[in-house]
A and B are shown apart, each in its own frame.
Chain A
Amino acid sequence: MEESLSSLKLLRQSDRGELTMVKQVSSGSPNKASNPSKDLLSKEVEIEALAAETSEGSQEMFERSDTDMVEFRRESGSVLRIAEGAILDSSDIDVEVSEDETMIINMGPQHPSTHGVLRLMMELKGEMVLRTKPVIGYLHTGMEKTAEGLSYIQGSTNVTRMDYLAPLHNELVFSLATESLLGIDMPPRATWIRMLMSELNRLSSHLMWMATNGMDLGSTSMMIYGFREREMVLSFFEKTTGLRMNHNYIRPGGVAADLPDGWYDDVLAICQTIPGRLDEYDEMLTGQPIFRERTEGVGIITQAQAIALSASGPLLRSTGVAWDLRKDIPYLAYDEVDFDVIVGSVGDTFDRFAVRLAELRESVRIIAQIIEKMPEGPYRTLDKKVTPPPRKRIDESMEALIHHFKLFTEGIHVPPGESYVAVESPRGELGCYMVADGSAKPFRMHIRGPSFVNLQSLPTMMAGSLIADAVAIISSIDPVMGEVDR
């Protein structure tokens, strides 16, 4: 056993060439049946080779003896940037766990409740989690690099696929970043349509969260109810944008199309239905002793820890920090609508649930104001260098034809510069950092994904909880792996 472990370590460090050699040895072993010990040996080598092949290297969690102290503390939930004295008092330290008593277990990437392909390596003692390490990258598609090959017009089709539960926020932040470089003004209707759509998207995303969170805690009915309400919002999206997800609706220069006929009644119906349903959820979950016991005091993160880990969104607000970009750095026309920023007090899983539930109500409140205040006018900018001319104008005007041709062959030329724009996505601060070099494609586009940043607070929240809590905690962060890996 000792030998195999050490060879495993060797294999981890070895390059691919050695690996194929090991494989050849294992497959070349003769007459398997007649020599069981040799067969067993080759099997072992094969398993080791497989382990080496699927290893994620230093991203993985190792036995205690192989882990250095800094890594170890991070995995067991210390927040390194806070003064350590504030987190771990040396007088409290009384447990020393030996390696025989613990077990390292993989949760994911194919686990039913890791919300996609998140992989958590956890060190367990019985059912208690001692150390946690998230391993990411299983959904990496290189979207940031892809963005450099796409023009600004094409760009929003790319970003919309990152956070697939809040596609409109992704499009919004991309468009806002592009527009800030272009220096164009939005017509008010475009701004208000964007606000309406992103607020509806927050609704659908939070409803989806309610559903999956209920599912993770074993409340299967909640899952169905959440999906049912989300369906209402999605069918409005389908009517407006043509698609249920990946809309490509909010684009640099405005939105793709005006709101459809009867939009007012549709949105009003949503506004009237959802609050009643939220009261039902309240009754079903908040008033449910089992649910409260499962969530209260689970996965506590303090204010200082959350700030040090640069958490944002409901995760940060649950600790009592009233940080909401809609209020603090208003974008679109959020300073013209009236709403409250919801904060929690303890920073546990229940607070994160409660914050999201109350945010749903606030979103409904905002939407109700938006549909009353929705201005008339064009739904995209009238700047000829950004917005293609309408079809009729092309037949009449040579200039319009040229603009149309240039826009769809070259795209929008964005003046050189860089900008960072952030919006409040359902998961937190969604930022877009854009560098333009004067061509029609971004020189560099970086997305600050809130799921990605929030995920690093997992070890802190997880330390000392049980496996069942782990599920609730992962769910309470609401990670979307498409955005984490991008």
Chain B
Amino acid sequence: MGQDPLFLGHISLGVVLIVVVKVLVAFVALLVSVLLMIWFERKIISDMQNRIGPNRAGPYGILQTLADGIKLFFKEDLIPEKSDRFAFKLAPYLTVIPAFLIFTIVPIGGTVHIFGHVAQLQVADPPIGILFLLAMSSVAVYGTMLAGWSSGSKYPLLGSVRASAQMVSYEAAMGLSVAAVVLITGSLGTRDIVNSQMGSFFGIFPKWNIIRLGIVPFVIFVIAITAELNRPPFDLTEAEQELVGGFHTEYSSIRFALFFLAEFMNTISMSAVIVTLFLGGPDGPNLGGPAWIWPILWFLIKTGAFLFFYVWVRAALPRLRYDQLMDLGWKILIPISLAWLLLVGAMQVSKVYGFVLFVVFLIGGSVLYRAVSIGRDNDSDVETITTFTRIKFNDETSIEGSNEGDN
């Protein structure tokens, strides 16, 4: 504490004020955008499904979420008797706080000049930026896991087991695809990542990571993020049809609302992170007017496109099964992202190495694919039998005897 420049008096009040204002603005903006996001999702999905959607509270039903929030706030807060009370109360906060903290490292725009200070439009730019993102999304797993476990009920338990397994396995694929970004940027800070994506190839193609890295890490990252967010089609942890409500089955009132707040906050934060990592963040052409406004607008447009994408996916796709989800994560995404990471590394060292490695991967991958498919064909008739459970029966004769009685 004693070494902190804040307490040594080296930092002026203006800087402190700017930080406080930035935090407040970010927090309020995130909350408001959650309200809008829920309304947006419900409106878009109802358009896609030939419904009207919310249209009562406020113009075009835009205040519906607020009304829902107020309703939930005044509901009775139930804590199940069998629950672990401390963990039960803690869990919603463990999901909300990381969701907000992830947003703090996202650069929203360029720089602005306030009161003679130069301020970046970003709450914080820690040198460990991306590690912070990974750490926070890991902490969010605890919220989900504790919520299910502490409820003292079977369905939430199943939901939380699914959640922790799902989030942990997709974290690996996500980390590997982020590593490719870090490799090409040479820095963990989000501002550096954004800055390195400025400019263009041949004046036409933007120099964004989605193009620089090939599209693969981007696709893997988007899939992994969707799983990490528990959004459809990976919303197994809260599959209403299977697990009633998943980990938040036993929650009510404001705690229940907090889970939804966290989910939508995470959706927005992660969309912003995708934009930052792969789509150049606030990068975009300046089309006239004040210079500081265009980066913000570009950022919002890109993030909005991803939010729309998530809604679209939700309307179009059914839900995956748990084992299929794990297969996708471990058998497809992780190997591909690992191979691609090696490729990007080799390209960094030398173009020749890169292309040689690419050919090696191409040949090796096709040989492996062929081997796996041959193995599958040979295995297929065995597999159908093993899908049935085998249970030991000691008493064969008693079955025969009771058969007649049964008929």
Q: Which residues of A contact B (CB under 8 A)?
A: 69-70, 72-73, 76-77, 80-81, 84, 88, 90, 92-97, 103, 105, 111-113, 127-128, 130, 214-222, 224-225, 228, 284-285, 288, 290-291, 293-294, 297, 300, 463-471
Contacts and interface: CB of A to CB of B under 8 A. Distances in A.
Interface residues of B, number: 48
A385 B407 CA distance: 43
Interface stretch (B88-96, B106-114, B228-236, B302-310): B228-236
B390 A93 contact: yes
Interface stretch (B45-53, B281-289, B350-358, B363-371): B45-53
A128 B389 contact: yes
B18 to A, nearest CB: 44
A84 B398 CA distance: 12
Given A88-B393, A468-B322, A218 B154 contact: no
A288 B317 CA distance: 8
13 contacts: A90-B396, A96-B391, A105-B155, A130-B389, A130-B391, A220-B315, A221-B49, A224-B51, A288-B317, A290-B320, A291-B318, A294-B321, A464-B389
Contacts of A105: 154-155, 158
A228 B387 contact: no
Contact of A96 (B242, B244, B392, B396): B392
B407 A81 contact: yes
Contacts of A77: 388-389
Interface in B360-407: 384-385, 387-393, 395-396, 398-400, 402-403, 406-407
B321 A293 contact: yes
Interface string B132-167: 000000000000000000000011001000100000
B243 interface: yes
Given A69-B398, A77-B388, A214 B241 contact: no
Contact of B318 (A70, A94, A97, A288): A288
Contacts of B385: 92
A303 to B, nearest CB: 15
Contacts of B77: none
A71 to B, nearest CB: 9
Interface in B216-245: 232-233, 235-236, 239-244
A246 B4 CA distance: 76
A284 B49 CA distance: 13
Contacts of A70: 398-399, 402, 406
Given A69-B398, A214-B318, A225-B50, 12 more contacts: A72-B391, A88-B390, A95-B391, A105-B154, A105-B155, A113-B241, A218-B233, A218-B319, A219-B318, A464-B388, A466-B322, A469-B321
A220 B48 CA distance: 11
A471 B324 contact: no
